[in-house]
Structures are given as C-alpha cells and as structure tokens.
Structure 1
C-alpha cells in the first residue's frame, strides 16, 4: 500500500502541489489589507474569455479631473503580480492599486485575471494578457460593445500596459509580440509600457538576489514560483523567464514602443530590472529606468496611497504625456 500524497511545493498555503500531482488552491486568503473606499471611482466585472472563464474588472472615474488637459480617459491595462501562481483582480491590494491608478491617472483601468500555474504553466498568462487586449479591441469595434469602453468617454488611441512583478514580465512579452505601433490591435493603440519590478529570472544569480531577503519575498519563494510556472523541464534561462537567455529572441531586432521601468532599491529583482533597462537602452530602445531608494517589492501595489506611491503616479503621468502621440 502506497504512502499518502504529501505536499512537495507550498506557496504560503495559498497554492500547494502534492506528490501525486494534485493541486490545492485556497479560496480564503484572509488579507490584512483594508479595501479603500474611493467613491470617485466606479467599477464592475466583465467576462472576457468564455473558453477559460476569465474575467476582468473595469475601473472608471465618475468625472474627468479638472486639472487634466485631456478630454477623454486614457486606458491602463493592469496586469497583476503573484509569481504567475497566485493573485486575482479582486485581491484587496490589486483592487486598491487600480482605484489609485484610475483616479491618479484619469484613466479607465482594465484589470484582467489570467490563468495561473501550476494548473496552467507559461505561456498561458501571456496568451491571456493578449486576449484581454483583443477583448478591448472587440468592444471598440462592436456596436454592442461595453458602454464604458465605447461610450465616447474613453480614448482608445491612448492605451498603456502596466505590469506589476510577474505582470511586468507579461507586459514585456506583450511589447515584443505587439511591436511598435500595435497595428494588429487597431483602432486600439498602445503608446507605452510600464514595468514595475518585472519578474525576470536566470540561472546565474545577481547580487541583489543573493542579498538580504525582503519582508515579503525571498529567493526561495522566487525559485518556487519559477519551478511551478515554467514549462516542464525548463530552466530559469528559458526565454519566458530570461529575456537575454541563450535561447531568447534578439530584442535588438524588434521595434518597441516606449518602456518605463520602476523598481525599489532594496528589491531582490532590482539588478535584473536595471540590467533589462540598460541593455535595451544600449540597443537604442526608448526606455527609462526609475529606482526608489529604500523600497521593497510591492511598495506601490501594497500601499498605493503612500507618499512614495504618489511620486510613482506623477512619474507615470509624465511618461504617459510624453508618449501620448
């Protein structure tokens, strides 16, 4: 008689992989984060992928900010973090973050869920990110599209893709897939990408990865996320993890829209973010790197109404204005 299945990978009790291949995913996370009540923003959920039963959440300001020079709302596609293994649009930290993005940037925020590992290994998350953009395009083109998108208040010529952590990784791959000009999504026009501490990996360790652990993150957690999310048998140098790995596409040959990279100086992912921005700049890409001194992973997402987060919003706003046409 064989032994009972036992846990072989454990993501803080939220996701557990057992020795027999079964997976447990908790539905009761119990976050100690209060949900912000920002009455200047309305939100609703929509099904955007019937096949995979994926929903997204739309956030819309109730009115245009008097200080905004724009006459319509820009669009922010927000791709949440979670190491490709955890996270949904209704987690309180992501929800609060999207409220702040909508109000601070005068934008319609589109926050899709995507399929999670290990049930759905990469590139499922990248495919779902693109599917959300196709949904947005379909709403614009259809006479029966969602009124929040095609009701005349939204400028779908001004779309920015913002990814946090693993969402930043997805945003990078979307930038490469879509290319400069985003002609395949017309009339939707992506103007730029904002990557917040993008979750990149590699077999060789960086100095920041080998440095002190963060309050909410350590190297063991990062490695576990990669083991659970990568295609079976793949290493951290796989192109989906390492954009500069031995088998990765030569990004120098790809035309890209502008990119803004934001990271905290105390993040384990700091060196990879800095290296990514430096390499792309050396290739002649339009990329900007901003580092926040003393900040750890998730400093904006987990506390979007802090003083530092207000600086992030102002930086995003400037980036959007500079790349609006």
Structure 2
C-alpha cells in the first residue's frame, strides 16, 4: 500500500517543461524558478570612466532603471540614449554584466547619458507588459524634465531635446512599438523630444517562417528552437506570433504606411536567424517613405555587439550609431 502511495506522490511531482539559458525553468504545475545569477558570466569592466546609479521608475511593479554618464563629459549637455536589454521577453536584466559593460561603452563612446530600464518578464508577465513598462520608463524621463525637484545628477548634464530610444532583440521590439505609439516628434512627451530609434537585432515574429528562420543553423546563438520557446512563453495565451506586438505586418496589425515616424536605424548580423524579418521591416518602411536606415554585418550572429563589444564589427557599429545621433540631433 505504501508503494502505491509513493508512486502516486512521485507522479504528482512537477516536471520541467521549458528552460531558457539556464536561468529560467518553467514546470508542469505552472511554477517558475529564476536564477539570481546572469546567464552571461563575464567580468564587469567598471574602470571609473563612467559613473552610474539606479533609480525607481515604477514603484507599482518594483521596476528600476540604471543611469550612466561619462565621468568627464565632452560637453555640458549630453544626448540621452535608452538601451533596452534583450532576452526574448523572458530573461535579462539591466544588472547583467554583459548589459552593464555595453552601457559603459555606449556612455563613453557616444558621450551620452544612457538609460537602461528593466521590464516585467514572461511567462509571469506576458505581453503587452514589457511594452507598457518601456513606455513608463520614457514617461519617467518626462517627469524628470518637468519636475520642480529633479534629480540633478541627471538634469545637470542631460539634453531632453535630444533623446534616442534603442533596444537589443526583445528591447528592439519594444523600441519599435514605442516609435509607433509615440509618433513623430513624440508630442505627448514634451518637453522631452525623441529624435530617433535604434533597433539592434529586433525580435519580430510571425506564423509563416522567414527564409533565414527556416534555414538558419541549429547551432546559432539564437536558434529556431529558442526563438520559438521565447515566443511561446511571452505571447498572450491563446494568441499566435501574428500578434500585432510581435508581427508589425500581421493580419491584425495596424498599417504603418500612414503613420508619421521618427528616423529609425535597424542593425542586423548577417548570420542572425531574425535577419530576414528585420530587413523586410526596413524595406517596407523605406518604400512608404520613412526615414529608415538598414545596416547588416556579414557573418555576425545575434547580439554580436554585446557578446564581442570590442570586435571590429561592434566598433564600426558604434560609429554608425554616433553618426546617426549627430545627424538626427540637428
């Protein structure tokens, strides 16, 4: 009798149904385990050339952002550059060392104030939670610009009329959706003025596979199995990857053709499985007369700029971003 009970108890034990890069495990009973450690264990290169600190931007959801600025800035007022981290909407953090190292580099090389916000992660918080949090992170900046008691650490050096919103992978998706929501000139953010968007390997999807998704190598850093898993865990239950927040050109998505959009820079690695979707996105917007630039780095994988931030392609990319900021700031 005891053996039967033991067997039944064992059968009821939850088992793992999904796992993401060793830091997220989802179990059959709906429970979730998250590691306190990052999936990318690299040393933090904090040499003092950039100063940084954290700030709350959404106390309701306990969300922070991390602010960076050069310790010895090149001018009295610096442009503001948002860097929204990636992770398939399921993993990642402003505090992960790969994210922090890239923000150090962005602050120094761009001579800009960097704002790196967290957002709620799936599957505990499925879309549109991450998009809403991205919006709240930008509204926080507006509150700082309008405050009678602002954080002078930020306001003494930040130029609120020169704001750029960038995102990496899932963060690139968030940046796109913010561009659509805010529109050209971002009137609802006044006196904050967004000048442009930088989509770094944006995470778009769709129910019909692109050629690069279908034929991409299984050993890719972001392979199809992982792409599919991220979407399965992050889209609203019952929806598909043609959801308007996932597929900009899906059957239920609003047409982007009549919208007035700020300038957009799209960056992809040539070996990234997401390449075809991003290229199609850029080409369609170009055909509709939008100010959009597409840059592709041959042979580079998804996230090459944060994985190898000192590589030649990453260095060239940084110069392109800098040029974009200078050109769109005038």
TM-score, scaled relative to structure 2: 0.94
Do the aligned partners of 1:159 and 1:190 also contact (CA within 8 Å) in 2?
yes
**Matching residue within 266, 269, 273 for 2:271:** 266
State how 1:1-325 maps to structure 2 within 5 Å. Answer: 1=8, 3-29=12-38, 31-65=40-74, 71-151=76-156, 153-210=157-214, 211-325=216-330
Q: Which runs of 5+ in 1 are unaligned?
A: none
Instruction: Give 1:38 deviation, angstroms.
Output: 3.3
8 Å CA contact 2:56–2:62 kept in 1: the answer is yes
Contact 2:38 2:92 in 1 (8 A): no
Check the 8 A contact 1:60/1:107 in 2, yes or no: yes
**Alpha-carbon contact 2:167-2:199 (below 8 Å) kept:** yes
Report the alpha carbon displacement of residue 71 of structure 1 after superposing the two structures with TM.
Answer: 4.4
Moved over 6 A (4+): none
How far 1:216 sits from its partner (Å)? 2.0
Q: Encode CA deviations 1:168-224: one digit per residue, 9 max, x unaligned.
A: 000000000000011100111000000011000011111111221354221000000
Q: Which structure has greater helix proportion?
A: 2
Offset, 1:312? 0.7
- Give the gaps of 5 or more residues in structure 2: 1-7
CA offset digits 1:109-142 (Å, max 9, x no partner)? 0000000000000000010001011111111111
Provide TM-score, normalisation by structure 1: 0.96
Q: CA deviation at 1:30?
A: 6.0
Count matched residues: 320
Whether the 8 Å contact between 1:6 and 1:19 is mirrored in structure 2 is: yes
CA distance in 2, matches of 1:122, 1:30: 22
* Residues 7-63 of structure 1: CA deviation (Å, up to 9, x unaligned): 111113311111111111111236331211232100101111100000010001012
RMSD value, Cα: 1.2
Residues 40 and 61 of structure 1 are in contact (CA less than 8 Å); yes or no, is this contact kept in structure 2?
yes
For the Cα contact (< 8 Å) 1:214–1:297, is it kept in 2? no
Rounded to whole Å, the distance in 1 between the matches of 2:71 and 2:120 is: 31
